[in-house]
């Protein structure tokens, strides 16, 4: 069976899931129309369209990535529909735009390796994107963090979502060049391997910028995501655990300083350490406490689609930002530990496919790119799910493909397109000959 | 690069395991603590979406029910307003305030069932709903009793002595449970110290029982074998008790009279002697047998009931008659430091009426699910055999004589023999004419169906026989001839 046929078969459960999901929400609302079938059919049509495109454009690409993403996307769509039907319609539109961007990425970046030529442009653009929300007049502050740029009439653009891809591309490209030097030029000082300053310098600059961004955008989660991807790439590129340890120590130092000196970050840490503190509950503790209460309410099997309580009888939000930051809590509330674990396993499978792509890739840049993209994706899931389950302080990033949000959908489709491009090249039977 | 890749992947697997572990922590391992967290309003909001069961009278009239509102939540309505404010109580889920039956039967009313049951309910496509509580309360008699009190602060409690079913439980002044949802109204009611409308006088009122307590003293006297109804005792007045003169009403002297005559005429000096002769231990024993010194075993919130007995005037704590602080002679006639609830006095006469057997009082008759199936029936159960049946029979005769020819003639009913006892407790300073009239009774005397206790707070010179007995008469009429 060819890779693409397996992909097509993989889309069947995704379509069944979206149909069943909408049916469940419709039943809960007391009106089972053929609306659920319509949603399912449209979704199936979109997926098959994308599949046909992949069949032509990337015949050898990993067959599981796209169906796995489709499962997540449809699951997210049902969840958002259940929270707010208007947002679900917008999300479906973003989904269409996302697929178009996905196609465009594959068409225009057929040879993704030419990205290497533009690595400094990409790095600079990414940093500009990150700083954008802090610029006066266009920045939008959400919960004390500067994560968005308001584009009047359209939406709040979240540049971090795109910057993460740019930075991964830059790091993969830079490390491909310097990985040998970093290892061979290293000296041992007091039993610790120290990389040569000349080549390590740019990496220190990245660390510095990340730390700076932490202050600028005031978002611990995003910086954890970027920096984690950086360390992951550094480790894979050099096989030197000591570099990672040094990196972690430096990050810990920075995080400690920020946690104790920046009030906004400090508050988050306090709430993380004691989420049920009665004094903090009415203001800064409300979100995380209610996230955990919602999960407790779900229990093992959950309340069922549409049964979670999201608003107080007075109409105030009980679960704040249920369609974005806290969507995982709503999922756990309605589908229980079982459903939540299912979602996490789906993410882990995507990460596993990404790593498989990296292992199959035949050049360092491709390997590092696949690792970087998979890592940043996995870390994003860890940052937001870890945040709402209080493993780490809660910060506002989206749950990829599931949370509501145009920027997130678009950026993650670009990420998926890049992974599939790398994968297609890696698995192409004649690639060895052609190169 | 494949080894670091594998290791890195393992690290991510580990991170995801942590996520699942933490999710399990909140959803399973610490779920109960989180659900019980005081800040967690979710169970409360969920309860607002559940149709709470209705509370019904014994004639199936609605005492409380839930009405769906536009926002999908339910609001509680009390169609009879303040009439059942006390026994039924109020339910304000949003403020987490529950009282009365709304509180004691909350589990049934709110439909709190096991998780398995609720899954089955969900699978059957049914909405979770609370069970209905059918009470033993008689709305007509409750209204008669409330009207008979005519706005005077006081209480009426009527029981079926054979089963312990509470037919009437009135406390005046009452309050309208429909209005307590308004925090302003609630705090106003709560702060009214003189009227104390939220105080359930039937179960929380602490009153001197006056001469109605002589029923218990007589019961102890006869049941212990020390006296018979025909035993003669000197009834002259005054008589020194605990070093202070004790007088009969109007300082009347009766000479040597029988115990029956002494009860009929409510002779203080006789019962003071009897109490002192019986001694502290015997009276303690009999008081406990009738339920004193313990909270009533009523299906009512524990914090809305108090124990009856002697109480230390300074600390308010219970004092056993074995304590030297207790003036035994005056306690035997229902004075001294006795603080008794109307429910307790109703239980005393109910036990006498029921051949000495005290039945556990109960307000709930049965619990019925939304489909009309009976889930639980409250079966009558014995609390104690307070006195021997022969003693009860003797007291029955003595109390009939109170109504036929003594202080309680005002309660006489056409064609029905009534057994009763009046009481007029002295309140306030010595010499003031402020009294607390009482009347306890059961009827029909040869086949008791109703036992009743009536008391009125602060009457200016009123007597049990003139103030409380007519109220008891009206309630007995309503309950015996519906």
Cβ B180 vs Cβ B213: under 8 Å: no
* Chain B residues closer than 8 Å to A275 by CB: none
- Mean pLDDT over each residue of chain B, to the nearest integer: 88
* Chain A residues closer than 8 Å to B181 by CB: none
Query: Closest chain A residue to B1 measured between Cα atoms?
Result: A236
* Chain A residues closer than 8 Å to B121 by CB: none
Q: What was the pLDDT predicted at A102?
A: 94
- The minimum CA-CA distance between B55 and chain A, rounded to whole Å, is 24
What is the domain partition of chain A in residue ranges?
3-434
For residue B444, is the peptide bond before it cis, meaning its omega torsion is within 30 degrees of 0?
yes
Cα–Cα dist B269/B271, whole Å: 6
Question: What's the Cα-to-Cα distance from A191 to each of A188, A372, B364, rounded to whole Å?
Answer: 6, 29, 80
pLDDT of A103-113, one tens digit each? 999 999 888 88
First to last CA, chain B: 94
CA dihedral A309, A313, A315, A317 (to 10 degrees): -40
Q: Which of B160-169, B295-304, B369-378, B441-450 has the lowest mean pLDDT?
A: B369-378
Cα–Cα dist A274/A266, whole Å: 13
Could you tell me which of B255, B259, B256, B254 has the C-alpha nearest to residue B230?
Answer: B259
Q: Do A295 and B23 touch (CB under 8 A)?
A: yes
Cα–Cα dist A348/B20, whole Å: 12
- How would you class B179 by CB atoms within 10 Å of its CB: exposed for 0-12, middle for 13-18, buried for 19 or more? middle
Cα–Cα dist B395/B222, whole Å: 9
Cα–Cα dist B66/B133, whole Å: 13
Q: What was the pLDDT predicted at A218?
A: 67
DSSP single-letter state for residue B467: I
Cβ A369 vs Cβ A119: under 8 Å: no
Could you tell me which of A245, A171, A246 has the C-alpha nearest to residue A202?
Answer: A171
Cα–Cα dist B257/B248, whole Å: 14
pLDDT of A182-208, one tens digit each? 777 666 666 666 666 666 777 677 667
Q: Do A348 and B35 touch (CB under 8 A)?
A: no
Q: Is the pLDDT of residue A357 over 90?
A: yes
Percent of the residues in chain B that have a pLDDT greater than 70, as a whole number: 95
Chain B interface, best mutation among A389, A390, A399, A400, by max B CB count within 10 A: A389
Q: Is the pLDDT of residue A412 over 80?
A: yes
Rounded mean pLDDT of A80-101?
87
Q: Do B39 and A278 touch (CB under 8 A)?
A: yes
- Mean pLDDT over each residue of chain A, to the nearest integer: 82
Q: Do A296 and B19 touch (CB under 8 A)?
A: no
Question: What's the Cα-to-Cα distance from B451 to each of A167, B476, B477, rounded to whole Å?
Answer: 87, 9, 12
pLDDT of B242-268, one tens digit each? 888 888 888 888 889 999 999 999 999
Of A292, A293, A341, the CB nearest to B20: A341
Q: What was the pLDDT predicted at A156?
A: 73
Q: Is the pLDDT of residue A430 over 70?
A: no
Does domain B139-207+254-265+278-309+340-480 correspond to CATH entry 3.40.50.2300? no
Rounded to 5 degrees, φ, ψ at B45 are -65, -35
Cα–Cα dist A415/A350, whole Å: 12
Q: Which of A375-379, B62-66, B115-119, B224-228 has the lowest mean pLDDT?
A: B115-119
User: Who has greater pLDDT, B186 or B155?
Assistant: B155
Q: Is the pLDDT of residue B166 over 90?
A: yes
User: Who has greater pLDDT, B308 or B117?
Assistant: B308
Q: What was the pLDDT predicted at A139?
A: 66
B→A contacts (Cβ < 8 Å), by residue, are 1-5, 7-9, 12-13, 15-16, 18-20, 22-28, 30-32, 34-35, 37-43, 45-46, 48-49, 71, 73, 94, 115, 119, 122
Token readout for B135 is 């009470």
For residue A262, is the peptide bond before it cis, meaning its omega torsion is within 30 degrees of 0?
no
Instruction: For helices B342-353 and B389-405, give the axis angle rounded to 10 degrees.
Output: 110
User: Who has greater pLDDT, A133 or B301?
Assistant: B301
Q: What was the pLDDT predicted at A158?
A: 81
Of A290, A313, A371, the CB nearest to B5: A371
* Chain B residues closer than 8 Å to A292 by CB: 26, 34
What are the beta bridge partners of residue B62? B56
Cα–Cα dist B36/B422, whole Å: 50
Q: Do B23 and A332 touch (CB under 8 A)?
A: yes
Q: Do B27 and A341 touch (CB under 8 A)?
A: no
Q: Is the pLDDT of residue A141 over 70?
A: no
- The minimum CA-CA distance between B113 and chain A, rounded to whole Å, is 15
- The minimum CA-CA distance between A97 and chain B, rounded to whole Å, is 30
What are the beta bridge partners of residue B423? B438
Q: What was the pLDDT predicted at B114?
A: 46
Q: Do A386 and B22 touch (CB under 8 A)?
A: yes
Handedness of CA B296, B297, B303, B304 (dihedral sign): negative
Of B23, B32, B37, the CB nearest to A340: B23
Handedness of CA A296, A299, A303, A304 (dihedral sign): positive
Pairs of residues, one from chain A and one from chain B, whose beta carbons lie less than 8 Å apart: 135
Of B13, B19, B34, the CB nearest to A385: B19
Residue identified by tokens 């449209």 is: A42
Cβ B5 vs Cβ A359: under 8 Å: yes
Cβ B461 vs Cβ B435: under 8 Å: yes
Rounded mean pLDDT of A165-172?
90
- The minimum CA-CA distance between B25 and chain A, rounded to whole Å, is 9
Question: What's the Cα-to-Cα distance from B63 to each of A404, B55, B232, B261, B407, rounded to whole Å?
Answer: 48, 5, 51, 45, 37
pLDDT of B265-294, one tens digit each? 999 999 999 999 999 999 999 999 999 999
DSSP secondary structure string for all residues of B156-184: EEEE-TTT-BEEEEEEES---TTTTTSHH
Question: What's the Cα-to-Cα distance from B74 to each of A197, A313, B68, B226, B371, rounded to whole Å?
Answer: 70, 10, 4, 61, 19
First to last CA, chain A: 26
Token readout for A405 is 């949000």
Q: Do A382 and B16 touch (CB under 8 A)?
A: yes
* Chain B residues closer than 8 Å to A361 by CB: none
Cβ A375 vs Cβ A235: under 8 Å: no
Q: Is the pLDDT of residue A283 over 90?
A: no
Q: What was the pLDDT predicted at A434?
A: 45
Contacts of B104 (CB under 8 A, 6+ apart): B299, B300, B301, B363
Q: What was the pLDDT predicted at A35?
A: 61
Q: What was the pLDDT predicted at A435?
A: 42
Could you tell me the pLDDT band of residue A157, with boundaries at 50, 70 and 90?
A: confident
Token readout for B460 is 């200016």
Q: Is the pLDDT of residue A3 over 90?
A: no
Cα–Cα dist A376/B211, whole Å: 87
* Chain A residues closer than 8 Å to B94 by CB: 313
Q: Is the pLDDT of residue B179 over 80?
A: yes
Query: Closest chain B residue to A278 measured between Cα atoms?
Result: B39
CA angle B354, B357, B359 (to 5 degrees): 90
* Chain B residues closer than 8 Å to A340 by CB: 20, 23, 27
Q: Do B37 and A293 touch (CB under 8 A)?
A: yes
B45: left (phi over 0), alpha (psi -120 to 50) or beta: alpha
Helix and strand totals (H; E) in chain B: 17, 23
Of B4, B18, B49, the CB nearest to A235: B4
What are the beta bridge partners of residue B450? B443
Contacts of B327 (CB under 8 A, 6+ apart): B241, B242, B336, B337
Q: Do A312 and B73 touch (CB under 8 A)?
A: no
DSSP secondary structure string for all residues of B180-248: TTSHHHHHHHHH-TTT-TTS-HHHH--B--GGGGHHHHHHHHHHTTS--TT-EEE--S-EEETTEEE--
DSSP secondary structure string for all residues of B22-83: HHHIIIIITHHHHHH-TT--HHHHHHHTSBPPPEE-TT--EEEEEEE-TTS-EEEE-TTGGG
- How would you class B193 by CB atoms within 10 Å of its CB: exposed for 0-12, middle for 13-18, buried for 19 or more? exposed
Token readout for A125 is 């653009």
| Mode of pairing for the β-strands spanning B357-359 and B338-339 | unpaired
Q: Do B1 and A375 touch (CB under 8 A)?
A: no
Q: Do B4 and A239 touch (CB under 8 A)?
A: yes
Among A1-10, A140-149, A201-210, B353-362, which range has the highest average pLDDT? B353-362
Element (H, E) at A102: helix A85-108
Rounded mean pLDDT of B182-193?
82
Q: Which of A302-311, B228-237, B238-247 has the lowest mean pLDDT?
A: A302-311
Could you tell me which of A422, A365, A382, A427 has the C-alpha nearest to residue A170?
Answer: A365
- The minimum CA-CA distance between B413 and chain A, rounded to whole Å, is 55
Query: Closest chain B residue to A370 measured between Cα atoms?
Result: B5
Rounded mean pLDDT of A123-137?
79
* Chain B residues closer than 8 Å to A383 by CB: none
Could you tell me the pLDDT band of residue A151, with boundaries at 50, 70 and 90?
A: low
Q: Do A312 and B41 touch (CB under 8 A)?
A: yes
Chain B interface, best mutation among A233, A292, A386, by max B CB count within 10 A: A292
Residue A33's CB is within 10 A of a number of other CB atoms, namely 10
Rounded to 5 degrees, φ, ψ at B212 are -60, -25
* Chain A residues closer than 8 Å to B31 by CB: 295-296, 299
What are the beta bridge partners of residue B76? B66
Q: Is the pLDDT of residue A144 over 60?
A: no
Could you tell me the pLDDT band of residue B372, with boundaries at 50, 70 and 90?
A: confident
Contacts of A140 (CB under 8 A, 6+ apart): A133, A146, A147, A148, A149, A150, A156
Chain B interface, best mutation among A224, A231, A277, A297, by max B CB count within 10 A: A297
Q: What was the pLDDT predicted at A433?
A: 46
Rounded to 5 degrees, φ, ψ at B374 are -75, 125
Cα–Cα dist B223/B348, whole Å: 14
Could you tell me the pLDDT band of residue A152, with boundaries at 50, 70 and 90?
A: low
* Chain B residues closer than 8 Å to A312 by CB: 41, 45
Handedness of CA A331, A336, A339, A340 (dihedral sign): positive
Chain B interface, best mutation among A29, A247, A296, A391, by max B CB count within 10 A: A296
Q: Is the pLDDT of residue A212 over 80?
A: no
Query: Closest chain A residue to B6 measured between Cα atoms?
Result: A355
* Chain A residues closer than 8 Å to B16 by CB: 344-345, 347-348, 378, 381-382
- The minimum CA-CA distance between B9 and chain A, rounded to whole Å, is 7
Cα–Cα dist B6/B236, whole Å: 107
Cβ B376 vs Cβ B367: under 8 Å: yes
């Amino acid at each position: 069976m060819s890779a693409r046929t397996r992909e097509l078969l993989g889309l069947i459960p995704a379509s069944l899931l979206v149909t069943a999901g909408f049916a469940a929400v419709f039943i809960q609302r007391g009106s089972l129309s053929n609306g659920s079938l319509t949603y399912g059919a449209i979704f199936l049509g979109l997926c098959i369209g994308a599949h046909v495109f992949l069949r032509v454009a990337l015949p050898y690409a990993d067959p599981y990535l796209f169906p796995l993403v489709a499962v997540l996307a449809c699951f997210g769509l049902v969840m958002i529909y259940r929270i707010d039907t208007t947002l679900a319609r917008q999300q479906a539109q973003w989904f269409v735009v996302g697929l178009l961007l996905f196609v465009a990425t594959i068409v225009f970046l057929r040879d993704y390796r030419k990205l290497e030529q533009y690595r400094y442009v990409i790095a600079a653009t990414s940093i500009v994107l990150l700083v954008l929300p802090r610029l006066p007049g266009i920045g939008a502050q959400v919960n004390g963090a500067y994560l968005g740029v308001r584009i009047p009439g359209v939406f709040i653009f979240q540049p971090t979502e795109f910057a993460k891809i740019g930075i991964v591309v830059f790091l993969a490209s830079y490390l491909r060049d310097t990985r040998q030097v970093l290892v061979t030029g290293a000296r041992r000082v007091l039993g610790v391997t120290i990389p040569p300053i000349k080549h390590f310098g740019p990496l220190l600059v990245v660390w510095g910028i990340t730390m700076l961004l932490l202050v600028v955008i005031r978002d611990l989660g995003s910086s954890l995501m970027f920096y984690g991807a950086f360390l992951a790439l550094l480790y894979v590129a050099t096989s030197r655990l000591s570099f990672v340890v040094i990196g972690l120590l430096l990050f810990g130092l920075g995080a400690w300083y920020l946690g104790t000196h920046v009030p906004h970050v400090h508050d988050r840490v306090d709430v993380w350490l004691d989420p049920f503190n009665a004094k903090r509950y009415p203001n800064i503790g409300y979100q995380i406490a209610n996230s955990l209460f919602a999960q407790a309410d779900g229990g093992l099997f959950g309340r069922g689609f549409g049964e979670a309580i999201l608003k107080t009888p007075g109409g105030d939000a009980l679960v704040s930002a249920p369609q974005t930051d806290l969507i995982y809590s709503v999922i756990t509330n309605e589908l229980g530990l079982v459903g939540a674990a299912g979602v996490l396993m789906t993410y882990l499978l995507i990460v596993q496919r990404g790593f498989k792509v990296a292992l199959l890739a035949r050049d360092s840049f491709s390997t590092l790119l696949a690792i970087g993209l998979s890592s940043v994706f996995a870390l994003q899931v860890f940052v937001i799910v870890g945040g709402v389950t209080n493993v780490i302080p809660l910060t506002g990033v989206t749950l990829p493909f599931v949370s509501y949000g145009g920027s997130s959908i678009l950026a993650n489709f670009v990420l998926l397109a890049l992974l599939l491009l790398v994968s297609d090249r890696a698995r192409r039977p004649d690639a060895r000959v052609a190169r | 690069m494949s080894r670091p890749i594998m290791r890195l992947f393992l690290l991510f697997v580990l991170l995801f395991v942590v996520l699942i572990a933490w999710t399990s922590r909140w959803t399973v391992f610490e779920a109960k603590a989180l659900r019980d967290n005081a800040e967690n309003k979710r169970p409360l909001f969920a309860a607002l979406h559940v149709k709470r069961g209705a509370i019904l009278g014994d004639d199936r009239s609605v005492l409380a029910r839930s009405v769906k509102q536009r926002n999908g939540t339910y609001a509680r309505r009390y169609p009879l307003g303040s009439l059942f404010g006390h026994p039924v109580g109020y339910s304000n889920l949003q403020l987490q305030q529950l009282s009365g039956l709304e509180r004691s039967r909350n589990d049934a009313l709110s439909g709190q069932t096991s998780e398995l049951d609720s899954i089955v309910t969900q699978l059957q496509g049914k909405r979770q709903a609370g069970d209905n509580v059918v009470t033993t309360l008689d709305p007509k008699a409750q209204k008669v009793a409330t009207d008979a009190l005519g706005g005077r602060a006081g209480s009426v409690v009527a029981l079926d002595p054979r089963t312990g079913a509470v037919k009437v439980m009135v406390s005046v002044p009452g309050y309208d449970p429909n209005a307590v949802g308004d925090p302003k109204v609630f705090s106003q009611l709560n702060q009214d110290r003189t009227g104390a409308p939220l105080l359930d006088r039937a179960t929380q009122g602490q009153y001197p029982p006056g001469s109605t307590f002589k029923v218990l003293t007589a019961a102890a006297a006869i049941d212990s074998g020390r006296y018979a109804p025909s035993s003669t005792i000197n009834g002259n007045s005054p008589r020194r008790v605990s070093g202070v003169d004790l007088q009969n009403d109007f300082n009347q002297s009766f000479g040597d009279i029988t115990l029956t005559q002494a009860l009929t005429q409510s002779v203080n000096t006789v019962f003071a002697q009897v109490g002192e002769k019986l001694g502290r231990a015997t009276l303690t024993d009999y008081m406990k047998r009738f339920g004193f010194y313990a909270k009533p075993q009523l299906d009512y919130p524990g914090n809305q009931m108090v124990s009856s007995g002697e109480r230390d005037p300074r600390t308010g704590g219970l004092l056993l008659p074995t304590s030297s602080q207790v003036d035994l002679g005056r306690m035997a006639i229902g004075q001294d430091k006795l603080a008794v609830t109307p429910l307790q006095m109703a239980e005393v006469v109910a036990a006498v009426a029921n051949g000495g057997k005290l039945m556990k009082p109960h307000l709930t008759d049965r619990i019925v699910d939304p489909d009309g199936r009976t889930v639980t029936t409250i079966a009558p159960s014995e609390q104690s055999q307070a006195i021997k049946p022969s003693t009860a029979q003797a007291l029955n005769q003595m109390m009939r004589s109170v109504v036929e020819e003594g202080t309680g003639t005002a309660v006489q009913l056409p064609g029905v023999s009534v057994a009763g006892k009046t009481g007029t407790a002295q309140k306030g300073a010595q010499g003031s004419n402020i009294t607390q009239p009482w009347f306890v009774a059961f009827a029909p005397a040869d086949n008791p169906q109703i036992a009743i206790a009536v008391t009125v707070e602060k009457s200016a010179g009123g007597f049990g026989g003139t103030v409380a007995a007519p109220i008891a008469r009206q309630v007995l009429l309503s309950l015996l001839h519906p």
